[in-house]
Structure 1
């Protein structure tokens, strides 16, 4: 009888030791790597490996979780997955949004411009390099610092009295925050279903555009000048 009790106990002890040796939790090396990645992420954004293709809308992320394009410590940054040709995307059928905020930031190999919006549905966009900036409706020329101008048109836009959302009223022009290529952003308000902002740059370069949710953001990333 005692022998029958001892054998199951030994078997259980062996199984426990085996599971401890094959646990799924991160070891010291993995933890150190994770801490290093967190410490080197840009202050304005959390690093992520997902990089969207041009003109696509990635899955929703938190407000500061846009992809940074950083490849990790000690490794060269990946090539910028964009080009200099116009980028357009349609909004949802019920889109009626107002741009509420604009911000800029610096990341590894590119600058970022974010246009945050609120309202109904999701906006579309038309983003392209233009010879110069001019105001919607009036056609008056606008001064934009830099040697190149990227026109960002948000479609599916509505006036504040239609959306019930207060429109962006911050610094205009908005200077680049530590940016390398982007000089400033000039906001041109809303006219007949579109809202336009002009991004000044030191040189034309590849760019990419995508949509993020919660809150809704049209994100424009401009590569460093070659």
Structure 2
């Protein structure tokens, strides 16, 4: 009986191995290229690499440039460089959220985008020297001319609930002709102060407001 047992054991083990192999083959689709999955297991996830045609040739817009912030109904450029002023709406509380600079035919454009409530006012004028409102200290601005921009109806972010601009400061754009840089200085007593460094101190400029979103636009004309 012992000899018989030794002869049958290898056969029994071989049958077990064959059964296991058959079970594995069945679970894997039998090796016939099928897409069967084990019931209850998650479906396979297919990820594809980005299409080369989708990213090829894509370019980033240079920081600080814009081509779509102007108005065809903007006031004419004045023949002088007198201060430009406008009053804010009652109860205005606004924060500068973005600054953009761009070159256009015959002038450079600076856009101050604002968030909050109400309509901004402003006083924009050439000043002999850039002086910070809050500290009284001089500020070095690039260029031969300095336009001081005072946006009234302004509030601190804690009051307006709007985060202030956090981009490059001062902001410089190489493609412009008249605007050398724009420096946002801060909020003091209801005014946001900024300086625009210009190529000359006698370039006519104009200022106007746009809505949706709220913007104050300052445009500096080329030399005549």
TM-score interval, smaller chain: 0.5 to 0.7
The answer to whether structure 1 residue 109 and structure 2 residue 106 are counterparts is yes
Match of 2:85 among 69, 83, 88: 88
Deviation per residue, 1:1-49 (Å, 9 max, x gap) = xxxxxxxxxxxxxxxxxxxxxxxxxxxxxxxxxxxxxxxxxx9335988
Q: How many residues align?
A: 159
- Counterpart of 1:224 in structure 2 is 222
**What is the aligned-residue RMSD (CA, Å)?**
1.9
Cα offset for 1:94? 2.0
CA pair 48-158 structure 1, distance change in 2 beyond 3 A: closer
**C-alpha distance 82-209 of structure 1, shift in aligned 2 (>3 A):** farther
Gaps of 5+ in 2: 1-64
Which of the numbers 37, 56, 66 marks the counterpart of 1:44? 66
**2:146 paired with 1:124:** no
Distance 2:169 2:218 in 1: 18
How many angstroms apart in 2 are the aligned matches of 1:177 and 1:122? 31
Whether the 8 Å CA contact 1:144–1:200 is kept in 2: the answer is yes
Matched, 1:164 2:161: yes
Residues 137 and 82 (structure 1 numbering): CA distance in 2 closer, same or farther, change over 3 Å? same
2:186 corresponds to 1:189 = yes
Deviation, 1:82, is 5.5
TM-score (norm 1): 0.66
Unaligned runs of 5+ in 1: 1-42, 55-79
For 2:151 and 2:69, the matched residues in 1 are separated by 26
Aligned-pair CA distance for 1:143: 0.7
Structure 2 contact 98–114 (Cα < 8 Å) conserved: yes
Aligned-partner Cα distance in 2 for 1:101–1:94: 22
- CA 1:82–1:92: 2 relative to 1, 3 Å: farther
- 1: CA distance, partners of 2:115 / 2:73: 24
More moved, 43-52 vs 207-216: 43-52
Which has more radius of gyration? 2
Asked if the contact 1:115–1:218 (Cα under 8 Å) also holds between the matched residues in 2, the reply is: yes
